[in-house]
Structure 1
């Protein structure tokens, strides 16, 4: 298989990829208990963040299956040791087997499975599947974004005033002060923070949230799939200078970010300057 994929080849893969991600969800769901503690075994990774046997099971399944579809693609996942060989590959799978593990283990529905295929450092295909909420987001570069098969688009809000915002409180406070600095009452509608970062960005893409704030230290696997979905829906994930995110760098770690409609980017960047 060549080191790049034609648009036709990508489209031909989509049905199998959808089915694979749904199958991965079927492996995770038996461990999930809505409103209660997970049935899965739990342990702590280096740094103290939790991981469950569901994370590991889904990760192993996706690594085998996705590698069969695109054998020459490298691999980057939250639950797999990073292999620097990915830096020399044009095609790279970026996977978070369960984004929002703390939500998953506590019975909160806002967790997701996030899968992206990069080409040349940019997302080519992106999936964010939230099984507990029955939301399946996907995008192919240049072909738009959908949720449960229906096209989605970012909100048409023209300004920051009364925007629906979610994310860490320190960033929200800074954004509020920045808007008020110009004599405008932001009157933000604060949306409860979405535990899965991929799902938070996807909700900006569908227009149910106007601005998603992202604290520093997010990883490629948290963002790449949802980033493409947002781009294809008319938005962007960018840093506080307005620059779009890039992926598959030696350290796949990001600083503070904004997820929002492209039309709101100049005002939000100015408010946070």
Structure 2
């Protein structure tokens, strides 16, 4: 039996408004499958934390663990059984150009923030996103150590552990809560007011999920991120009534030939997004 996500006494998000929409798309089964797989993968990852975590390295020098690979195999197998006609694009599996011809592509990071996982932190997440015709339409992000399950799609809105949530309506950067990595200030100038509350977060998927749920007002990355760590989070931000764009203000398209996005990104509630984009531009 999967662990039941619990509500935490802190980080209470605002009450949601109705989802904004395009034409309705029925993704109820897709969301249920993704949620179940994220919970199962999270349980697997917690199990690995009970033992010493052995660290290896990929060809590009990034670290990888057995937990990454087992979580990846679990999620890909589950998606392949449930949706055999869909393509799957994962950080931990060989890429295939055949996905570029597919309308529906699952884009997953089975363990986002592996360094945090290895260090014994609690910010690592499982990220499962679905892009249809290159648009991010569905996202599930699960934070196992806090049992926080963020999920939603563009015509359903977003929930956190089953409770409807939404991006905040903040309009000014003064006192806004902005999630970013500890390295952002070294990557370029940030014209943020001194009263901004900076949340230091490891996982990009987690930062985006927090924006979608109204736990933070915005998130930034001056670094160009890869698709598998952003698809689910961007889908959640959009489903929660927020905006997520590249640093030039353009929409983010997924299932591209190159896995890394062309620029860094900004995500926030719709009212705050223009100001945050200007502050990092």
TM-score by length of 1: 0.87
Greater length-normalized contact order (CA 8 Å, ≥ 6 residues apart): 2
Q: Which residue of 1 aligns with 2:211?
A: 204
CA contact (8 A) 1:205 1:233 kept: yes
Matches within 5 A, 1:238-249: 238-249=245-256
CA contact (8 A) 1:211 1:259 kept: yes
Aligned residues: 255
CA contact (8 A) 1:171 1:215 kept: no
Report how far residue 186 of structure 1 moved: 4.7
Q: CA RMSD in A?
A: 1.9
Q: Which residue of 2 aligns with 1:29?
A: 46
Counterpart pick for 1:174 among 186, 189, 206: 189
Give CA-to-partner distance per residue, 1:14-71, whole Å, 9 cap, x none: 33332222112222111125xxxx6232101122211000000010111111011111
Deviates more, 1:78-87 or 1:239-248: 239-248
- What is the distance in 1 between the residues matched to 2:177 and 2:38? 30
- What is the distance in 2 between the residues matched to 1:187 and 1:20? 40
CA contact (8 A) 2:187 2:222 kept: no
- What is the distance in 2 between the residues matched to 1:75 and 1:16? 14
Matches within 5 A, 1:41-190: 41-167=54-180, 168-170=183-185, 174-176=189-191, 185-190=193-198
- What is the distance in 1 between the residues matched to 2:119 and 2:194? 34
SS in 2 for 1:238: strand
- What is the distance in 2 between the residues matched to 1:101 and 1:223? 15
Unpaired stretches in structure 2, ≥5 consecutive residues: 1-23
- What is the distance in 2 between the residues matched to 1:265 and 1:14? 27
CA contact (8 A) 1:78 1:95 kept: yes
After TM superposition, where is structure 1 displaced by more than 6 Å over at least 4 residues in a row?
none
- What is the distance in 2 between the residues matched to 1:146 and 1:189? 24
TM-score by length of 2: 0.85
- What is the distance in 1 between the residues matched to 2:31 and 2:280? 38
CA contact (8 A) 2:150 2:160 kept: yes
User: Where is the helix percentage greater, Structure 1 or Structure 2?
Assistant: 1
CA contact (8 A) 1:171 1:213 kept: no
